[in-house]
Structure 1
């Protein structure tokens, strides 16, 4: 499924702080230490060319308290790039200056049968595992936050709910992500998100491949120990992901007594700019400050 609408992100004019850069190696430059802000670009976390991430390490970091926000771009699992979130990086560095930020790419699906699901889920897990394995080298803690938009939010939720047995992920930010893949197939938002595209991604229909549909739906992994979740969605003009995907997750979290904050912008679609985007960042900053310790 092609992504016809992308998350619109707030452009900032902030200049990046002076920092060391090291392309692809994932190693801290020898002239730097934890006092210096450092950017590591296109760091490989796997052997495929798409398995790369940009890592932004803050100054004065330490292995006890420096947390990491992992950004996962959208694009219907078949398009998009970590560059889509570059403005998010600038804004988050300003609002949450003590956090490290990892902005990741992953292998993209292509019709009819290239990198079908769960390839993307596996890549996100590998990226989180890589970050954890590098915590001492990067001088960061194992505490993370997952933040994704659209398909990226779906992947962030899966990682946070399905693979968090060590409780390293402390909160998840869901920007209009799919939460129930069976409902995505049975009740598509519009012709821009046809059931046939979901069937290609998941190698069949809910009837023919029920196991994969169930295991690919974050809502099925909500338990009484699920982490705090903040959800944002547009209104009826979101033609890719129905609002019901977010309200169903909210209700499941409430039923399990999980901390959840849900914001709907009724006049917005699949992404937004301006005052509502500022409101989104305000709420994210407040939520993480309160629930990620």
Structure 2
């Protein structure tokens, strides 16, 4: 009886358009979120695997329909989940945006784990299908598909760059969504790699990690650059960015041992050369995930979070002019 009551209450609050959303006990994030939220919304199914997103609504909508911040989590394309949204590094960004009327979306995608056959290209396709789903259902969620800012960290930073610059037509996914392509308004990347074709970009004296360690996630466990160089280029935002690509903010730590600083510089140099709108912020004394490396990060984490939210808000404000 109690479960039936919860189910009916969910329908009453969310409306019949949310009937496919899973009913579950509120997480800590939901309890701390001042607005409504819809968890585990299935945006596509691959075989027996359902892929979901969480949609967090602002308490006070300042726009109707609302702009969206679309978060793609990190984790080396092999770990992490949409629950990364609630981490202390991320949640303040979304709260600031929600206070300005943004709908906040966090999406899951297939992961490049051994034995699954999933490759990085699938991660890109899934993330694009999540955008297509929002476009298809924009009236239900009262969002503006023309004002979606994509945001990701680490592997999610690369995915955010791909969503910003790559052609959706080259990454068709679910046939029910393929006609709802989305061009994001802007992109934000925290320490995301920009080019897999140049292994030197991954070399650093700060780490003894294999600089070519991501190759198997691009072309399979036995793949190499020599066997399929086109696949490495396809996964590199550096080769997709054009003069008319949407604006993008790239933030990178100067002592990041996981994704070294040259990745951001490499992308920024090409953007400047072709006239693309890319802003780069180098955070001093910062490693991956803005960890302290040689001192306190400058700017600090709270300032980075504020600048990230401000950039998204500014892009939306610019779009209305």
Instruction: Give the TM-score normalised by structure 1.
Output: 0.81
In the alignment, the residues of structure 1 paired with residue 167 and residue 258 of structure 2 have an alpha-carbon distance, to the nearest angstrom, of 26
Secondary structure of the corresponding residue to residue 279 of structure 2: strand
- The residue number in structure 2 matching 1:243 is 261
- Paired position in structure 2 for 1:175: 190
Distance 1:50 1:72, change over 3 A: farther
- CA RMSD of superposed structures (Å): 2.8
Residue 274 of structure 2 is aligned to residue 256 of structure 1? yes
Maintained 8 Å contact 1:78/1:109: yes
Matched, 1:158 2:162: yes
Q: Does 1:218 align with 2:237?
A: yes
Q: 1:60 to 1:265 in 2, by over 3 A?
A: closer
Aligned: 1:99 with 2:102: yes
Structure 2 residue aligned with 1:118, among 111, 117, 121? 121
- Give the C-alpha shift of residue 192 in structure 1: 3.1
Match of 2:41 in 1: 43
Distance 2:267 2:50 in 1: 30
User: How many residue pairs are counted as aligned between the two chains?
Assistant: 266
Residue pair 2:201, 2:262 contacting (<8 A) in 1 also:
no
Matched, 1:291 2:315: yes
User: Matches of 1:69 and 1:180 in 2, distance apart?
Assistant: 25
> Which of these two proteins has the greater Rg computed from alpha carbons?
2
Structure 1: runs of 5+ lacking an equivalent:
1-18, 28-35
Higher relative contact order (CA 8 A, sep 6+): 1
* Whole-angstrom CA distance in 2 between matches of 1:246 and 1:223: 16
Verify the 8 A CA contact 2:191 2:250 in the aligned structure 1. Answer: yes
C-alpha change, 1:119 and 1:112, in structure 2 (3 Å) is: same
C-alpha distance in 2 between matches for 1:260 and 1:24: 40
Once the two structures are superposed, residues 53-106 of structure 1 have per-residue CA deviations (whole angstroms, 9 ceiling, x without a partner) of 100122454885511111011011001111122142454223442100110111
Moved more, 135-144 or 105-114: 105-114
Distance in 2 (CA, whole Å) between partners of 1:63 and 1:182 is 42
Unaligned runs of 5+ in 2: 1-11, 23-33, 170-180, 292-296
| Larger fraction in helix | 2
What is the correspondence of 1:258-273 to structure 2 with a 5 Å cutoff? 258-272=276-290
